[in-house]
């Protein structure tokens, strides 16, 4: 309806139907501090060309990875994105596909999901996977809920070095559970002594991120030994899955569930989403897995085919009695990661992982010449540095054309002046050296 054509009488009649006397009463629950208090200052009746030009002018004020050299990470990473991906994902048969409940009409969509599940299993070393989640944070929450259902327990032990935003989602989704955070050590690692003292028969799951939020590599073999023999399930979270080109997979270290984020596999930063979460587990927990699961079968003529399996469609609309209320998936984003992984192949996967590691170590050695790198543990493609007046320094770096990292004080108040610094294969030696010179100038 075109509301600009409504008369005062029409508006009054609508308000009466709603049961309020005025527009002000309709919005009375909105705090006054949030109200503009004056009409919007918008131009009237502009042409399409004028609007397009104005929007281009406004968007030109934005800065980002297209204008600055970025060393930001913290769960969203700037990796290579082959140009062919934009072309393939822009095909209408991919971006318009949605619900594949009629397999005879959706074999392409279902095969894409099946290939995604297969790649998740190959990367995580676990036996079964679902057809993607919304993102890494909701996948983590679903993993904890699943562990609680399987064990019948309510306590969840969570490393305080799990991504802070993942922890917030976890607490929001598990209001009926007890969330206990495992503190960090002075080396920027999860406190294993605290974990060993805290695991008992009342614990449903132990959740550890690797590499952790600081980029440090956790001793997952030790976590597995601590959890072994208890009811608790061991959940490994990863927001930078390129690490598995070098590190042991969750399956190899004894994890029961592996979840995380596939954004690094060819998905643009996109202001934080949409991304593609992944979820894998041991086969024995298959019927407790959330979301869609696609299986391979044959039809009456022996032809290969794909179907949504294990969970019925009605599972997704049973509200509080459902295993999970995630009833869709980030199918297009998941397909994008499949395209990306198919393009780079196994050798490319390992090569990108090695470049992430080696370039990070080079950046770390250069930064030690200028500032403190406080945590002395192995890292993958992220680490922490510390400097005084970090807020001023980061602003000066932006003026010099560099995004110098993510300040940690907002997440960890005790870490004032600490900055999380990420290096991917996109960064060159010249860019790292240029950053060091800019940092020296900002410090002085």
pLDDT tens string 142-199: 999 999 999 999 999 999 999 999 999 999 999 999 999 999 999 999 999 999 999 9
Residue 102: the pLDDT is 80
Mean pLDDT computed over 277-297? 93
User: Terminus-to-terminus CA distance in the chain, angstroms?
Assistant: 60
Asked whether the CA dihedral 161, 162, 165, 170 is positive or negative, the reply is negative
Q: What is the CATH number of domain 83-340?
A: 3.40.640.10
Answer whether residue 4 shows pLDDT above 60.
no
Closest to 113 in 3D by CA, of 239, 291, 258: 291
CATH 3.40.640.10-classified regions of the chain: 83-340
Query: Where is pLDDT greater, at 273 or 361?
Result: 361
* 294-349 tens-digit pLDDT: 999 998 899 999 998 887 665 566 667 777 777 667 889 999 999 999 999 999 99
Residue 23: the pLDDT is 84
Residue 363: the pLDDT is 98
Answer whether residue 251 shows pLDDT above 50.
yes
Mean pLDDT computed over 418-433? 98
Alpha-carbon distance of 124 to 431, in angstroms, equals 33
| Residue located via tokens 């983590």 | 140
Q: What is the CATH number of domain 69-81+346-443?
A: 3.90.1150.10
Residue 316: the pLDDT is 60
| Mean pLDDT, the chain, whole residue set | 92
Mean pLDDT computed over 222-226? 96
Residue 327: the pLDDT is 67
CATH 3.90.1150.10-classified regions of the chain: 69-81+346-443
Please give the structure tokens belonging to residue 408: 């940690």
Mean pLDDT computed over 227-233? 93
Residue 5: the pLDDT is 54
CA distances from 86 to 111, 295, 332, 341, 438 (A): 20, 28, 11, 14, 34
Residue 317: the pLDDT is 66
Mean pLDDT computed over 224-234? 95
Enumerate residues 6+ apart whose C-beta is below 8 A from 165.
75, 137
Q: Number of C-alpha atoms within 13 angstroms, CB side, residue 112?
A: 25
């Amino acid at each position: 309806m075109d509301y600009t054509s409504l008369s005062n009488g029409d508006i009054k009649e609508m308000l009466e139907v709603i049961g309020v006397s005025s527009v002000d009463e309709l919005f009375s629950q909105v705090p006054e501090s949030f109200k503009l208090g004056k009409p919007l200052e918008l131009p009237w009746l502009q042409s399409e060309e004028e609007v397009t030009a104005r929007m281009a002018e406004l968007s030109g004020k934005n800065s980002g990875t297209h204008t600055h050299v970025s060393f930001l990470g913290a769960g969203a990473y700037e990796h290579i994105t082959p140009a062919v991906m934009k072309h393939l994902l822009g095909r209408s048969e991919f971006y318009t596909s949605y619900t594949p409940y009629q397999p005879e009409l959706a074999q392409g969509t279902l095969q894409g999901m099946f290939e995604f599940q297969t790649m998740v299993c190959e990367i995580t070393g676990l036996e079964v996977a679902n057809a993607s989640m919304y993102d890494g944070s909701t996948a983590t929450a679903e993993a904890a809920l699943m562990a609680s259902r399987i064990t019948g327990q309510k306590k969840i032990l969570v490393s305080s070095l799990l991504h802070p935003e993942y922890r917030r989602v976890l607490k929001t989704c598990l209001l009926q559970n007890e969330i206990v955070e495992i503190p960090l050590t002075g080396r920027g690692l999860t406190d294993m002594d605290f974990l060993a003292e805290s695991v008992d028969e009342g614990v449903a799951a132990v959740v550890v991120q690797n590499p952790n939020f600081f980029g440090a590599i956790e001793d997952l073999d030790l976590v597995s030994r601590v959890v072994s023999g208890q009811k608790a399930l061991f959940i490994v979270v990863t927001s930078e899955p390129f690490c598995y080109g070098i590190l042991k997979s969750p399956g190899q270290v004894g994890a029961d569930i592996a979840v995380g984020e596939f954004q690094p596999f060819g998905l643009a930063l996109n202001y934080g989403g949409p991304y593609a979460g992944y979820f894998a587990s041991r086969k024995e927990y298959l019927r407790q897995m959330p979301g869609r699961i696609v299986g391979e079968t044959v039809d009456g003529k022996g032809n290969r085919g794909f179907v949504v399996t294990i969970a019925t469609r009605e599972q997704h609309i049973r509200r509080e009695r459902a295993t999970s209320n995630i009833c869709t998936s980030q199918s297009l984003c998941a397909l994008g990661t499949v395209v990306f992984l198919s393009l780079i192949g196994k050798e490319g996967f390992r090569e990108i992982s090695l470049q992430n590691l080696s370039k990070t170590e080079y950046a770390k050695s250069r930064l030690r010449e200028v500032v403190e790198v406080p945590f002395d543990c192995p890292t993958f493609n992220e680490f922490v540095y510390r400097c005084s007046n970090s807020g001023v320094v980061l602003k000066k770096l932006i003026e010099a054309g560099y995004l110098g990292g993510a300040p940690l004080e907002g997440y960890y108040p005790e870490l004032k002046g600490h900055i999380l610094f990420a290096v991917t294969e996109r960064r060159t030696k010249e860019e790292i050296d240029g950053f060091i010179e800019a940092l020296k100038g900002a410090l002085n």
